[in-house]
A and B are shown apart, each in its own frame.
Chain A
Amino acid sequence: MLLLQQIVTSSFTLFRIACRAYRPTSAIVLVGLCWVSISAHAQEINPLAGNARAQYAGGVLFRAQCATCHGADATGIESIDAPDLTAMWRERAYSDRQVFDIIRDGIAGTIMPPHDFTETEVWMLVSFLRSVGESGVENLPVADSGLGATLFNNHCAECHRVTNAGGVLGPNLSDVLRRNSLADITASVRQPSALITSGYKAVRVNTNAGENIQGVLKNEDAFSFQIVDTNQQLRAFRKHDAVLTEQRESLMPAFAESELSEQELLAILNYIQSATGATP
């Protein structure tokens, strides 16, 4: 492991030297020439990271080669199970190298094929995907995480989970700071029905037997649907046994400023940060 790190470091140094040497030439040429000096070793870090031209070139390549499945904006196409690539960094905690390998090797057992791109082209794609990847909360203002723990347990834990404590009716919030901006988090607390995370759509179920059940919709076809009910149990129904009504409002109550102040929300987020060891 140490050896590998030394190789990466030394080749990276070479790269930097080469870049400096060729700085006067055009950026495109620079990218190519720099690459010559580093291609002998497997890179863990994108050698083109932060390079705006590489990002741009990667975007061009992406729209030509990848957008058919993943969409021009890289947010995926649900009907063909092509994943949202803007979300993959936070959802799967991929490294640049892992994304590089997936592009080059494909994913066995799926329709994601291996690709015959040059290494430079793959790194350009990685640069582009980084540039469109969602980012989390940066510089979370410090607040009372002890108060946040109390507030979380009183208001959130019934439905939401942080680490392994809490419910499953709403999304797991362990990664909320890595996934969303502070503005997005605030909006989802103040107006939870404005944007409901996929898999958490509120539904009402009226069964022929007279049962009235609330829950969140997990799956549905023409004949059946599958929910997590407010008892937090998996339940499935056939449509001739029950009527499914989608609710416009989320099961999550809206917290106005008067019910949960900005400072209290920050306290909760500080608690989540400390409970999960999150460093957004």
Chain B
Amino acid sequence: MNLRDVTMQSRKANGRARSKVVGLAVSAMLFSASLTQAQDGPDYEDLLAGFADAERWLTYSGDYSGKRHSPLTQITPENVARLRPVWTFQAGTTTRGRGFETTPLVDDGVLYVTGSNNYAWAIDARSGRSFWQYQRNLPNNLTYGASAPVNRGFGMLGNRLFMVTLDAHLLAFDRRSGEVLWDIELADYRIGYAATLAPLVVDDKVIVGISGGEYATRGFIDAYDPETGARLWRFNTIPRPGEPGSETWPDDPEILARGGGGTWMNGSYDPELNLIYWGVGNPNPDYYGDQRPGDNLYSNSLVALDADTGELRWHYQFTPHDLNDWDSNHMPVLAEIEWQGSSRQVVMVGNRNGFFYVLDRVTGELLLGKPFTATTWARELDADGRPIILNDGSQGCLPDPWGSTNFMPPTFYPGLDLFILTARETCATFVPEEPANQPGVANFGGVVYIDGEQGSGALRALDVHTGDLVWEFTYPSPTFGGVMSTASGLVFAGDHEGNFMAFDAQTGENLWHYQTGSRIWGAAAMTFMLDGQQLVLIPSGTTLTAFALEPLN
């Protein structure tokens, strides 16, 4: 039998196949890794459309705004009690002390999932069975990456996937084969760098940040060409001597060069303003501030950058001269809300320091800053938006270094105008010590005593106009689970005890729970339609679980 004839016959029967084969051959002849091969996956227009296609979830938050609010309505407060697992996927790789933090992407019935230790998979969304698995051959002398060997997901454009690695590289994959198309170094992992976030694809750029603020590093936000991996721009989160912001540091290039300011959580994007919004982490050393008098910009800030050039448009610093490791690496949430009688384009942040903030995202003007936990660090901001600090940490009972919340995604529920986040009530005492500042060595600058007896957690819904608590659901321990909402009036959240739960968005009433068997840590749910059914996915421990109202099989 001549197989060539057979394959040609089948192609002739399918015009789509034939045209694609021609396209492949042409691009191969051009000897280029051209995106002309990748017409099938989502393009930039699809990414801009966000949730428009109910069968897709194409970016970390589902759309550029970071609201994590899906328009799907099949699962409702009335029927959510019938939600049951459809399948589970076992990653077979784990991270002690951290979580399975990824948000899967889905397109055309295929999930694209990253895991701990730089594993990754393409998974059939109907059965939970994989098409391919990737596992990076990591060096055994990882620095920051060894302490948090996690990953939060892929970015996608066309047939390409983008993933960052624990040895601080950025990879592009062919999503059909799991093969690496290019592999570039973001920074030298041996100094202390690593990368864990889900790349943000904006037009013809792949935008990533970096981890490693616990080491003598300088943070940055980078944009890369999706086709070649060439770097297009870099924004340094800690200025060089003489640059704007350097006046908030000692006049010492060495201190600036190891000033920290990691950018390890995803940002959001406003296509109208062409601005990306990104959180910046702690200054280095974390707890010891005597070597770095000043506000230490742009540590613990939100920065708004021009997406084409990486130029800083505005910034707001939540925690000047941080001494408590309160990175501001949170998903900035973009929304249009009524503000004192007129409509405002705002960006909202629930911060590790215990305050909830609303800023005008065009100008950076602070509209609201109010505590959402019992933080004793500060209780109010002054007229200039600076915190009136009551306790630097030496007197105990601040939020611990993990913060009043952390990078686990919150959700914004439009209409109800609720910002719903995981709150942590903790108590810790900070004892600074002068550190050695050696490259490749973690550089906390002190020790922290956490009072384990006093910790608790809660899912809290805040009125974005006032910051007032509208409802809460309390957890027995400080929790790291993220939050998602759906337009049917539901909120999905996970807790430290392993429960995946659904709540009534208006009242906070718990409507459903499922014990996943491992704490839900750093991850939030995602949802999409498949064969007319709404699926909800949550990673937990080593397991990715899919839920639907009726079994699919």
Contact = CB atoms under 8 A, between A and B. Distances in A.
Contacts, number: 131
A165 interface: yes
A84 interface: no
Contacts of A168: 174, 176-177, 179
B131 A219 contact: yes
B124 A224 contact: yes
A249 interface: yes
Contacts of B31: 149, 165, 275
Contact of A157 (B1, B28, B32, B175): B28
A158 interface: yes
Contacts of A226: 124, 127, 129-131
B137 A214 contact: no
A234 B131 contact: yes
A168 B181 CA distance: 12
Contacts of A101: 140
Scoring A164, A251, A252, A253 by chain B CB atoms within 10 A of each residue's CB, the highest score goes to A164
Contact of A221 (B3, B30, B129): B129
B524 interface: no
A275 B126 CA distance: 39
Given A221-B127, A232-B20, A238-B127, A153 B25 contact: yes
A214 B129 contact: no
A230 B132 CA distance: 17
B4 A228 contact: no
Contacts of B122: 234
Interface residues of A, number: 52
A233 B8 CA distance: 17
Contacts of A254: 3
Interface residues of B, number: 53
A257 interface: no
B126 A166 contact: no
A236 B140 contact: no
B286 to A, nearest CB: 25
Interface in A146-205: 149, 153, 157-158, 161, 163-168, 172, 193, 199, 202
A157 B126 contact: no
Contacts of A250: 3
B125 to A, nearest CB: 8
B149 interface: yes
Contact of A109 (B116, B175, B553): B116
B87 to A, nearest CB: 10
A13 to B, nearest CB: 26
Given A109-B95, A158-B24, A251-B3, A218 B140 contact: no
Given A109-B93, A153-B28, A230-B11, A236 B33 contact: no
A231 B20 contact: yes
A185 B441 CA distance: 48
Given A165-B28, A224-B129, A230 B10 contact: yes
Interface of B: 1-4, 6-7, 10-11, 13-14, 16-17, 20-21, 24-25, 27-33, 40, 92-95, 108-110, 116-117, 122, 124-127, 129-132, 137, 140, 149, 174-177, 179, 181-182, 553
Interface of A: 81, 92-94, 98, 101-102, 105, 108-110, 149, 153, 157-158, 161, 163-168, 172, 193, 199, 202, 212-214, 218-221, 223-226, 228, 230-234, 236, 238, 249-254, 275
9 contacts: A102-B140, A172-B179, A212-B10, A214-B7, A223-B553, A238-B126, A249-B3, A250-B3, A253-B2
Given A94-B137, A157-B25, A234-B108, 14 more contacts: A81-B92, A109-B116, A158-B24, A164-B182, A172-B179, A202-B3, A224-B129, A225-B129, A226-B127, A230-B7, A230-B11, A231-B14, A233-B108, A253-B2
